[in-house]
Amino acid sequence: MNILETHHIIKDYADHRALDDVSVNIPKGSIFGLLGPNGAGKTSLIRIINQITGPDKGTILFDGVPLNENHIRRIGYLPEERGLYKKMKVGEQLLYLAQLKGLSKRDAMDKLKVWFTKFDIKTWWDKNVADLSKGMQQKVQFVSTVLHQPDLIILDEPFSGFDPINANLIRDEILELRKKGSTIIFSTHRMETVEELCDHIALIHKSKKVLDGPKSQIKEQFKTNTFFVEYRGALNGLENHFQVSNTRQLESGLTKSDIKLPVGHTANQLLQELLPHIEIYSFGENVPTMSDIFMKAVNEVPES
């Protein structure tokens, strides 16, 4: 069950093509990472989903139905460039934004009370937005994004501007929202958050989609079948088919090396091979990090 499907989206601007045949499926209830270098086309895709602009070719399905105006109230959007009306009061402004998303005033008030208590910001209601610090403003804007309990929440760099405590707060909220049934699309450069939170990812580079799938699957895909070993001693005389690379000295005095397993060989075989030569302190598989995957995927696309 996909909350959102984009089929063969093409988006052209005056001097370049922003999205070239992009098709993504966002499974319901997932936390979906939308990755890509700056200028890749992520923001264009997000704007199309938010119906801020339209695609030149291609279709979008929201919950199985072609995307239309009624879906606006079921989507929440936190743009990368944050902003609120500076001269308006916090409470008043949140009410206004909620009403624009289709909530009744009473409904919005009830929900706001819950969030203000949860975030412990009851005293902010009558404050002018301009009097709040940047982090405080972003907290307020986060509330405006999720207040109407949207089925699909799109967060563009949600953690930027937050100190670690507030970043944790937001992270917990994201997890809780997912628990309640919302789907979250996450656009970010901070790979450690992708590592931690996302279960699906898609990578867009130079207007094309280059990666798409569950995170575990993608990691599998990028596995180089390399293992690391921390040891004392020297790795000489290892069978030739075990490629040793990247031998370096650690602060602890140990040596660390990466060893690539050839096809058909198992980790056990490698261990058996190593045991006679060195004193092993640590051994494990080099699972590619999202950061590694990002750089590899981006560099592999030929310059057009």
Partner 1 sequence: MKNILLILRREYLVRVKKKSFIIMTFLAPLLLVGFYAAVIWIAIGSTEMKTVQVLDKSGLFATQFKDTDELKFKFITNSLDSAKAQFKSGEDNALVYIPENVLEDSEGVLIYAPKNVSLDLKSNIEKTIERQIEDIKLTEAGITRKVLEDSRVDVKSQTISLSDGGEKSSSSGAATAIGGICGFLIYISVFVYGTMVMRGVTEEKTSRIVEVIISSVKPYQLMLGKIIGVAMVGLTQFVLWILLTVILASGAGYIFKDQLGNDPQKMQAQMEQVQKGMPGGAMNPAVNAASGNDPANAVADILAAVGSLNLPYIIGCFLFYYLGGYLLYSALFGAVGAAVDNEADTQQFMLPITLPIVFSFVFAQMALRDPDGSLAFWTSIIPFTSPIVMMVRIPFGVPAWELALSMVLLVLGFIGTTWLAARIYRIGILMYGKKVNYKELAKWIFYKG
Binding site for partner 1 (CB under 8 A): 14, 47, 50-54, 72, 75, 77, 79, 81-88, 96-97, 99-101, 141, 144
CA distance linking residue 94 with residue 89, whole number of Å: 9
Whichever of 82 and 171 has its CB closer to partner 1, that residue is 82
Pairing of strands 278-285, 31-35: unpaired
Q: Residue-wise over 203-222: b if at least 16 C-beta within 10 A, else e?
A: bbbbbbbbbbeebeebbeeb
The amino acid occupying position 73 is R
What is the nearest approach in angstroms of partner 1 to the Cβ of residue 281? 52
Whichever of 30 and 141 has its CB closer to partner 1, that residue is 141
Whichever of 186 and 231 has its CB closer to partner 1, that residue is 186
What is the nearest approach in angstroms of partner 1 to the Cβ of residue 154? 9
What is the nearest approach in angstroms of partner 1 to the Cβ of residue 194? 23
Whichever of 88 and 254 has its CB closer to partner 1, that residue is 88
What is the nearest approach in angstroms of partner 1 to the Cβ of residue 11? 12
Q: Which residues contact 172 (CB under 8 A, 6 or more apart)?
A: none
Which pair of structure tokens corresponds to residue 184?
Answer: 């979250």
CA distance linking residue 44 with residue 149, whole number of Å: 24
Burial class of residue 51 (count of CB atoms within 10 Å of its CB; 0-12, 13-18, 19+)? middle
The amino acid occupying position 37 is P
Tell me if 226 sits within 8 A of 261, measured CB to CB: yes
Closest-CA residue to 34 (of 201, 222, 215) = 201
Whichever of 52 and 275 has its CB closer to partner 1, that residue is 52
What is the nearest approach in angstroms of partner 1 to the Cβ of residue 50? 4
What is the nearest approach in angstroms of partner 1 to the Cβ of residue 86? 6
What is the nearest approach in angstroms of partner 1 to the Cβ of residue 167? 21
Whichever of 85 and 110 has its CB closer to partner 1, that residue is 85
Whichever of 51 and 289 has its CB closer to partner 1, that residue is 51
Which pair of structure tokens corresponds to residue 181?
Answer: 């049934």
Cα torsion angle, 85, 157, 172, 64, sign: positive
Of the chain, the end-to-end C-alpha distance in Å amounts to 36
Whichever of 22 and 154 has its CB closer to partner 1, that residue is 154
CA distance linking residue 289 with residue 299, whole number of Å: 15
What is the nearest approach in angstroms of partner 1 to the Cβ of residue 106? 15
